[in-house]
């Protein structure tokens, strides 16, 4: 039988996205482009294993350097000192993705980009103005992240009597996660590679928010 997508080539492999068999070429060309490929698809998993790491550039599937907020410097020492915060924000992203299964990597990068822009404005000028997001789902992602920032500050206040978290630290953490998102996603319209990466770090029934004293060395315990 002919592939139901191209209607030209012979169908050869089962596609869980269309609940039927399609040809190998359409599988490769339409994967995460027009097809909502589930994470458990073996062809998707195989493709991810052989994908090249995306590089910074201006053409094709390369990453636009300006999208990575290159003006924000993040040292290795910062990632070590703010490991708890980075884990907490990563968990917030994973939680948001679980709350709305229609989300894809582009939704997360859009939310992170808007938040980075808002925090950069706040750090540089002192003006607090939330960057508008076109989609309600993306706004929900930002709310999950902001709630985690609030919880982190409250945890520090409870343990130390004050919070050490500065807006500049939040900005760096958000930029760190944005860069991670761009490096993990395939760049295709419906890619969920970054989301799958996050959810693998925080299994659904094994994540909790704890105070520094309770967790020992981490706030977020996977």
CA angle, residues 78, 169, 178, in degrees to nearest 5: 85
Where are any strands of DSSP class E within the chain? 13-15, 20-22, 208-209, 220-221
Say what the alpha-carbon torsion angle 185, 96, 149, 71 is, to the nearest 10 degrees. Answer: 20
Question: Are 56 and 65 contacting, i.e. CB atoms less than 8 angstroms apart?
Answer: yes
At residue 57, the pLDDT reads: 57
At residue 218, the pLDDT reads: 42
Give the pLDDT confidence of 131-145 residue by residue, as tens digits: 777 788 899 999 999
Q: Strand 13-15 to strand 220-221: parallel, antiparallel, or no bridges (unpaired)?
A: unpaired
Whether the pLDDT of residue 53 is over 80: the answer is no
Quick one: average pLDDT of 24-38?
Answer: 96
pTM: 0.85
Q: Partners of 13 in the beta sheet?
A: 22
Where residue 84 falls among pLDDT bands split at 50, 70, 90? very high
Q: Which of 49-63, 131-145, 173-187 has the lowest mean pLDDT?
A: 49-63
Q: How far apart are CA 32 and CA 209, in angstroms?
A: 33
Quick one: average pLDDT of 80-105?
Answer: 94
Give the pLDDT confidence of 202-215 residue by residue, as tens digits: 887 654 444 434 44
Where residue 151 falls among pLDDT bands split at 50, 70, 90? very high
**Please, is 64 exposed, middle or buried when counting C-beta atoms within 10 Å of its C-beta (0-12, 13-18, 19+)?**
exposed
Instruction: Tokens for 213, please give them.
Output: 């004293």
Instruction: Tokens for 208, please give them.
Output: 């909790």
- Average pLDDT taken over every residue of the chain: 87
């Amino acid at each position: 039988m002919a592939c139901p997508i191209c209607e030209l080539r012979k169908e050869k492999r089962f596609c869980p996205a269309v609940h039927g068999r399609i040809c190998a070429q359409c599988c490769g060309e339409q994967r995460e482009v027009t097809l909502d490929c589930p994470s458990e698809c073996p062809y998707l998993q195989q493709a991810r294993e052989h994908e090249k790491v995306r590089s910074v550039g201006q053409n094709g599937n390369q990453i636009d350097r300006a999208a990575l907020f290159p003006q924000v410097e993040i040292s290795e020492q910062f990632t070590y000192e703010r490991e708890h915060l980075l884990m907490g924000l990563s968990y917030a992203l994973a939680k948001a993705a679980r709350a709305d299964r229609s989300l894809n990597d582009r939704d997360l990068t859009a939310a992170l980009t808007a938040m980075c822009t808002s925090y950069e404005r706040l750090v540089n000028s002192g003006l607090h103005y939330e960057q508008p997001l076109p989609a309600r789902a993306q706004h929900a992602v930002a709310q999950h992240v902001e709630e985690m920032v609030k919880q982190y500050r409250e945890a520090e206040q409870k343990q130390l009597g004050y919070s050490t978290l500065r807006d500049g630290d939040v900005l760096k953490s958000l930029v760190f996660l944005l860069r991670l998102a761009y490096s993990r996603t395939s760049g295709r319209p419906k890619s969920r590679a970054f989301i799958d990466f996050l959810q693998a770090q925080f299994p659904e029934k094994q994540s909790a928010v704890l105070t520094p004293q309770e967790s020992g060395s981490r706030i977020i315990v996977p």
